Structure formats: structure tokens, C-alpha cells
Structure 1
């Protein structure tokens, strides 16, 4: 029984301790979904009265310094995630911290996780932040490994969902900063959600919700280097456009089967402005990726524009817009023609817009 086991573990570690873990009292770990320097993520069943299963969740556990200021700051940051509400973002249900006695967590993990395949190493003396999240099925990284033959229309559908979630994050005046296939999860075969917003950082806008680009100056780069924008890798200022660059790299990877070494080469070329030929047989994709990975960050479109871009429209709708452009000449649209074009777009896409 987890509650009784909690007490016995505490007495073994420290006879004077009355510590009880909320996680081990209420959840039964079933699988370790991932682990690394950030901590670990469990698939866990939530129980009531030991036997009633309320459901399965993903529980992220992050080690923190045993410092009240750090703990309070972490909880304050995660409050932002709890308030996010978008169908393209993994749901966050709850968060709490635990401060076990030194050595308790390693001992408890040895008892409770002993039958699981993965071994999780934890610091001897630290606090832990737990985040209760929606459980998904598999990652975009898994999908890429399983699917050597990829349908472009399905890729567009998936990518549009990702872009819509990123647009929501930016509208909230935050930057994800670590978009990558392993942080994009499938709920089912056709529905994806963005996750791992643990390094989402406030852009400190000047008090409005206009969504205008505001830069931020960082003392260190955060994110995964493979998917970083060039300006993100240094100590320079950057904006939410770093997420747009990452979207471009992710789209290229979705369209072309590449191993990690090839992906590194291709992505480094994009960061350096060196021409790539990997998409030469997909000129439409090539142009769109080039737009998203422009070395001049201000030339990259924002996420809302990406969601509405013709590239992501179903082929029949895109065909109608191309006909209109062919008749008028898109480069020379007058104001009235642009308004007409927008009305056509609204009419064609009515009822199929991504809802928040």
C-alpha cells in the first residue's frame, strides 16, 4: 500500500521523519516515458482508496535546489502552464512540490520503480517539482522513425496543428524555445499537441495583448541545439521568431527521411545560409521552409500568418486561390483586390478554421 510504504520508507531513511510523498501516495508508476537532465516523466495511474483507478496521466518530476525562493519561482512559472487552454497544447492539471529527507527519493525509487525497465538517477538532497499532465500516445519523433513513406497532405494537417499551438503560445506573450519532434505528441494518429513548456519564458510585453514582437536578452541559450535559430545560439537578443525557425526545420524533417547526422548537416546549412537541395523535388515545401528559416528573423512570418498560409490549405482550396492570383497577379493587388481576395479566403475556409 503506497501510503503505508511511504511511512516505512521515511522511517528507514530518518527515524524522526514524517515525510509522505503525495506522488507515491496517490499514483502508481506504470512506465518511465523519458528521463534526462530535466528529470523524468512517468506514466502513472491515479488511485483513490488504493483500488479505484481514476485514470492514467503523465507526471513530470523535476529536481530543484532545496531553496524556498527557487521552489516558489518554479511553482509561479508552472501556474502559467496551468492556465494555458488550447486543443493543440498538452493539458496541465496540477502541480506540487515535495521536499523529501536526503536520500529518501533514491531509496523510494529503488523500491517503487524497481520493476520498471529504466533506472532513474536522482540527486541525494534536493526538492522536486511534480507536474500532472495529459497522457498522450507517442511523439512526432516516433512517427518520423516509423514512417518512411509520408503523405504531404497529412504532413500539412499535422504541421498546421503545431503552428496553431505555437500561435496560441505567442499570443499569450510567451516563447516555447525548445520546439522539436520529441516535444510534439500524438493523441491519436491524426491529432498532435505541443508539450514540454517547462522552458517557456515570459517575454515581458509592455502590458498589452497586441502580439507585437518584443525581443528579450538572455544570458544563456536554452533549447535543443539541433533546432535552434542562429540568433538563439549566441548571447544576442531574440524574439518569438526563434520558434518559427524551429518550425521550418521540423517541417523539412517531416518531408524528408533523414538520419540525425544528415539532419544536423541540413539544419546547420539553414543556420549558415548555405543552400540545401534536400527539398529540390518539393519546390512548394522548399519555398515555405526557406520562408520560415530566413536568417533575418524579422522576415520570418509570425505563427498566425503561418496557420493561414496557402501552403497549408487543402489542395482544392489552394487551387481556387491560385486561380484568383492567376487572373489578377498577386504581386500587384490593389487594396480592393486584396480585400476581395481575403473575402474569397474567408469563404473558402469557413468552418475549417482551427479553434482555440
Structure 2
């Protein structure tokens, strides 16, 4: 396990932030072109809610924070005795406790008042264009899914709150002035002039995940080959589902993979779509995405896979330890998700971890050692495309030859040498069944 010395200093090298550690302890480069901290969304649990496309009054809740304007969500763990509803409308959810907080949002465990079901409620403050862009990206990705998948977090509803009023968000709702203003803010990259800057929030109601994230689940238990095989199948199934629905996640990492244990067996849920990209309807005239030459896969069931792998993305974003080499250059396709998944599975199987200098958490992630530093695999491959990855990393690893070969293919420098999501799902099924 990697640790950091407390006497770390920061410097800028080639435009990238680098952490250097004294005393011979390995350091960790955390250089990412676009990296935004987002709260760990503890999301999971299905819930039926009433369809409400009209604007309705919201119950005002008195909080300890003066800037909170809340909402139709009753915060029951903060001064319940002081709650005095301003209107007769009852909130549909009671917020029980805070379970995550990031630079632009807070996540609560909540309960639906009608059904008693536990849900996760994520509140995102839309006070800046970059925050609006992340919120809308998550909203568009989750609402674009016509079908559910057991390994992808389910969005139950999204509520837009402003001036003490709430309106259920619906994709492309041209009748909602607030929705259109959010879209305009995101597209223009600046605040819309002429509109009052009162607090505006998006509330995401999602399934609640009581099992924590993949880091917590794996590292708090003894190694279990059967669980590993199950998780590998679930992860590849989730990514195949997303790619078939024209969604590139762009931030796959253990923090964004949550665990539900309601069925008795752990079920993975891919979550946090703030950096995701919906590629449906993209064309070569788009300024960020354009068709990739020679992209596509083989097979009779891959029409959507072929489409999504035809589009180049240019926004270099994600978390550095899981970013593919081409993402560092800002020129990549959906195959970048396959690379990230390879890093996650490799780290999970061999329990390769590091201590994050910012959060002080032990995280799953593979890396390359370079002197006193550790370097993300994708960055190292970009610098040295001929570098050979040593898979497995540990001498006593029980990794099968089939899985070893599959991981090598997933982590290929050239994206065209990687399997697409559909091929990966088939091969992973074969590898795990043979183990």
C-alpha cells in the first residue's frame, strides 16, 4: 500500500499539478485536465412518485445555513421542533442524514413519506455555469435511458427549486423557463444577464445504496474470488448497457460504483454521471464530438456500439488514475470507458491500492512506479507507448491466463485494439465461467 509523507510540496510542471514527497516515499501525480470534485452519491432504492409537471409551492424549512432556501424536502435531522410549514403542501421526502458532500452538492439519505422507502437525495446548487453543466449532464444521461438496468443507478425524479417553488424536471421541457435558463447558462458558459441570482437547486431522487462504494466494500472484506467474478460480470454488463444507449460515462472509478445489498447478494450500481456524454444524434459539425475513422465492432447485435465508437470526444475529463492515454491528449472515444474498467478490475483482483493525499482514503487503483513517484497507467503509456504492463502485478496472484489476456487487451495503448463494450461483456462471461 502506498502512503504519503506529510511534508509534501506542490509545484507546477508542464502545466500539470504534481505532488512531490520527501524522504524517499513514493509520490502521486494528480494531474488531470478537467477534474471536478463531486460528492459521493450514496444512491439506490426504487420508489414510485406522483407525476408532477406543474410548479407547486414548497414547504420552507429552517436550517442552520442561512443560504439554504429549501424545499419540498423536509430536513428532519435539523431542528425538527422548529419546522413551521409556510403552506399546506406536505413534502414528499424527509431527509434523515447527510451521507456525502462535494464542492457543489450534498447527498442525503431520505425516506419517502408515502411509501417509507429509503432513497438518496442529491442537492446540486446551480450557482455557476460549470455546476449547471455537471447537473444537466447527469440529468440528461439518466433521463435518456428508456429501460432500467440492475447495475445502473435509477433516477426516480428530478426537481428544480427556485424562489420557494418546485417544478419536476422533464427533458426538453420548453414550457419551463427555469429549465431553459439552465440550458442557456450551460451552453453560454456564463451567467444569464437580467435574471435575479437567487439560489437555484436541482434535487435528484435516486435509489439508496447502503453498502457504500466499491472501495469500502472490497477493502473491508477478505478476498473472495466468487464475489470478484460476479462484480466483473456486473461491471461489464453495466458499461455495455450504457454504450448501447449511447452514453459514455467518462468517470468510471471505484468511488462511482455503489453497492446495494437489498437482495441478499451485493449488486453493483454505476453512478455519478456528472461528466457523462450522451452521444445520440451527434454529427461531424459538433464542436466537441466528430466521427472517428475506422471505429466500430463486429457482431449482429452491435448497432448502437458501432455508433458510439464512431464519435471522438475532446473534453479531457475524469480522474487521473483511471484515464486512458488518449484522454490525457483530449482526443478519445467510448473506448476510454473500457480502459478505466480495466484499471478498476485489475486493482480489485489484486487489491492494489494507494492513499489519496487529499482525502487520506485508501483507494483501489493501479499505477506505474517511477522513482519516488507513482504515475497513472494511462499517463505512463502515453509517455511510453511501448511499455509492457506486468499483469498480474503480484507474484502470488491467482489470476487466470484468460483474465490476464483480457486485461491486457482492455488496457491496450491503441483504443482500436481494445474490445468494445459488447465484445467485452461476452469475453468476460467466458473468462469468469471458465475460472
Distance 2:377 2:131 in 1: 39
**Aligned pairs for 1:135-154 within 5 A:** 135-138=208-211, 139-147=213-221, 149-154=222-227
What is the match of residue 330 of structure 1?
none
Aligned pair partner of 1:31 in 82, 97, 101: 97
Q: Does 1:291 align with 2:385?
A: no
CA distance in 2, matches of 1:248, 1:223: 15
Q: CA deviation at 1:172?
A: 0.9
Q: Is it true that 1:265 corresponds to 2:367 in the alignment?
A: yes
Cα distance change, pair 8–203 in 1 and its aligned pair in 2 (3 A): closer
Aligned to 2:206: 133
Contact in 2 for aligned 1:28/1:45 (Cα 8 Å): yes
Question: Matched residues in 2 for 1:300 and 1:141: separation?
Answer: 25
1:97 pairs with 2:160: yes
Instruction: From the superposition, tell whether residues 154 and 214 of structure 1 become closer, same or farther in structure 2 (CA, over 3 Å).
Output: same
Report the 3-state secondary structure (helix = DSSP H, G, I; strand = E; otherwise coil) of the residue aligned with 1:294.
coil
**1:190 deviation in Å?**
2.9
Does 2:289 align with 1:174?
no
Whole-angstrom distance in 1 between the partners of 2:422 and 2:113: 41
**TM-aligned CA deviation for residue 161 of structure 1:** 0.7
Q: 1:62 to 1:153 in 2, by over 3 A?
A: same
CA separation of 1:61 and 1:70: change in aligned 2, threshold 3 A? closer
CA–CA separation in structure 2 for the residues paired with 1:94 and 1:299: 39
1:202 aligns to what? 278
SS of the counterpart of 1:197?
coil
Partner of 1:232: 327
Distance across 1 between alignment mates of 2:311 and 2:112: 41
Moved more, 150-159 or 259-268: 259-268
Q: Does 1:82 align with 2:200?
A: no
Q: Which has the higher contact order (CA 8 A, sep 6+)?
A: 2
Higher helix share: 1
Shift of 1:73: 9.6
Q: Cα 1:150–1:5, aligned 2, differ >3 Å: closer, same or farther? A: same
Q: Determine helix, strand or coil for the equivalent of 2:94.
A: strand
By how many angstroms is 1:155 displaced?
A: 0.8
Question: Per-residue deviation at 1:28?
Answer: 2.0
Point out the structure with max Rg over C-alpha.
Answer: 1
Taking only aligned residues, the RMSD between alpha carbons, in angstroms, comes to 3.5
Shift of 1:300: 0.5
* Distance apart, 1:293 and its partner CA: 0.6
d(CA) in 1 for partners of 2:241, 2:102: 28
Q: Please report how far the alpha carbon of residue 44 of structure 1 lies from its aligned counterpart in structure 2 after TM superposition.
A: 0.7
Structure 2 alignment gaps of length 5 or more = 1-56, 75-90, 165-196, 284-301, 356-363, 369-374, 382-386
Which position in structure 1 is the counterpart of 2:168? none
Which digits, 9 at most, give the CA deviation of each residue in 1:143-198, with x for residues without a partner?
Answer: 12212x32333212111111111101101111001111121112124321211122
CA spacing shift, 1:61–1:252, aligned 2, 3 Å = same
Whether the aligned pair in 1 keeps the contact of 2:410 and 2:419 (CA below 8 Å) is: yes
Q: Aligned partners of 2:270, 2:141: CA distance in 1, in Å?
A: 15
Distance (Å, rounded) in 2 between the aligned partners of 1:86 and 1:4: 32
The alpha-carbon deviation at position 252 of structure 1 amounts to 0.8
Distance 2:231 2:138 in 1: 28
Structure 1: distance between partners of 2:407 and 2:282:
31
Tell me if structure 2 keeps the 8 A contact 1:205–1:214: no
Cα distance, 1:204 vs structure 2? 4.2
Residue 278 in 1 paired to residue 332 in 2?
A: no
For residues 103-151 of structure 1, give each alpha carbon's deviation from its aligned partner in whole angstroms, at most 9, with x where no partner exists. xxxxxxxxxxxxxxxxxxxxx964211111011122211112212x323
Q: Give 1:108's aligned residue.
A: none
* C-alpha contact (below 8 Å) 1:96/1:130 kept by paired residues: yes
1:44 and 1:233 mapped to 2: Cα distance?
38
